Amino acid sequence: MILFQEHELQAEVPDFEHGGFRPARLIHRVDPLFGHGTRLIEGAKLTPGPVELGSVVERSGFCPFCADTIGEATAPFSPEIARNGRIIVGNAWVVPNVIAYSSVSAVGVYDVSRHFLPLTAMTSAIVYDVLLAIAQHGKAVRQQRPELIYSSINANYLPPSGSSLIHPHIQSSHDSVPLGAQAKLLAASKEHLSTYGTPYFEELIALEDAQSQRIVAHMDPFVWLVPFAPSGFYEAWAIAPSIGDVVELSDPDIYQLATGLALVLSTYEQIGVQSFNFSLIGATPESKEFGAGLLLRIVARAPMDPYYRSDVTYFERLCLESMIDYSPEEWAQTLRSNFGTTMTG
């Protein structure tokens, strides 16, 4: 059975009104699926408020994802992946990733006609087009490379989330090895089914439905809820127990997912959130046998700042994977050259 572990920790903070210290409520929770801890703090606002985006999001110079440049700034796919070299749905384009994040990775641009999309402009139609296009790419990849059984769709939005470009886009990953979050999802689901005889996500949804405190909506095949122990600010999950793999998504499934995502993003706008990460993962096509369905997780990030870019992206925040841009061996060699004769042993 799923255990929602919660502990009330004894904490104190300075009492500036009366002197000395006063008790402060601090709750520690453990996520029953991924195993991370969450501390719920009262009396403090950890999430910074929104700032005026202004000229930061305006185009000044070259952008590879705008309509007037994307055709020349990006490479075409092979004919096996896209007959005409491009995957285009409405104003959404999917193009090859110029950075090898995964064995096969693509970039999906929400709308090539608009350099920047505020969250209020992330309509279900716009989100649907880009998700549909990148899903089409994923299905074509898996036909050509069936060994790449671990697929995901991920997003960074604005530099505070780790995005290197203002023009909104998403990314896909296809590998023969799982992301850390995928491995954890599969292993935990297998263990839960073996131990308790019930699929993890089915039990989780039943529990959340019964409690009704964190459940948000049923949008078949997805169930939207807020996790018991969030891994980030304003986190939301969409779970599809009947779907085990990203490439199994049908067009109606994608429409439902896009509708839910657009609702979350509009709510973010209402509460002052300006940046986010999301990650949509399955395990493998066979993972449904173990109760490991499709899972989307979305978290809010810090507000935009003209000169700030976080080094934390969806890999670290949601996929339990660190992403670095150098070889550890090369870094060690650099250190050794600076340590010189001080090395011993």
Q: Where are the domains of the chain?
A: 5-41, 65-317
Q: Are strands 92-96 and 87-89 parallel, antiparallel or unpaired?
A: antiparallel
Please, which residues bridge with residue 237 across strands? 225, 297
Which residues contact residue 269 at a Cβ distance below 8 angstroms, ignoring those fewer than 6 apart?
Answer: 118, 119, 120
Cβ count within 10 A of residue 215: 16
Q: How far apart are CA 77 and CA 50, in angstroms?
A: 39
Which pLDDT score is estimated for 35? 87
- What is the pTM assigned to this prediction? 0.88
* DSSP type of residue 249: -
> Is 179 within 8 Å of 281 (Cβ atoms)?
yes
Cα 105–Cα 106–Cα 112 angle in degrees, nearest 5: 165
With contact defined as beta carbons under 8 Å apart, do 278 and 119 qualify?
Answer: no
pLDDT value, residue 320: 65
Q: For residue 279, what are the contacts with CB-CB under 8 A and spacing of at least 6?
A: 152, 153, 154, 155, 181, 296, 297, 298, 314, 318, 319
Residue 344's pLDDT is 41
Amino acid at 299: V
By the 10 Å C-beta count (0-12 exposed, 13-18 middle, 19+ buried), 285 is classed as middle
CATH fold of the domain at 65-317: HIT family, subunit A (3.30.428)
- Cα 288 to chain centroid, rounded: 21
Amino acid (one-letter) located at 283: A
What stretches of 80-214 show up as alpha helix (H) in DSSP?
124-144, 180-196, 200-211
Longest Cα separation, the chain: 74
Per the CB < 8 A criterion, the answer to whether 173 and 179 are in contact is yes
- The residue behind tokens 């090369």 is 330
Handedness of CA 66, 64, 278, 88 (dihedral sign): positive
The tens place of each residue's pLDDT in the chain, 345 residues long, gives 899 998 998 888 899 999 999 998 888 888 999 988 888 887 666 666 777 787 778 888 899 999 999 999 999 999 999 998 999 999 999 999 998 889 999 999 999 999 999 999 999 999 999 999 999 999 999 999 999 999 999 999 998 888 989 999 999 999 999 999 999 999 999 999 999 999 999 999 999 899 878 888 889 999 998 888 888 888 889 999 999 999 999 999 999 999 999 989 988 888 888 899 999 998 777 777 787 899 999 988 888 766 666 767 787 778 766 565 545 555 566 656 666 644 443
Burial string for 158-172 (b: 16+ CB within 10 Å, else e) reads: bbbbbbeebbbbbbb
The pLDDT value recorded for residue 126 is: 98
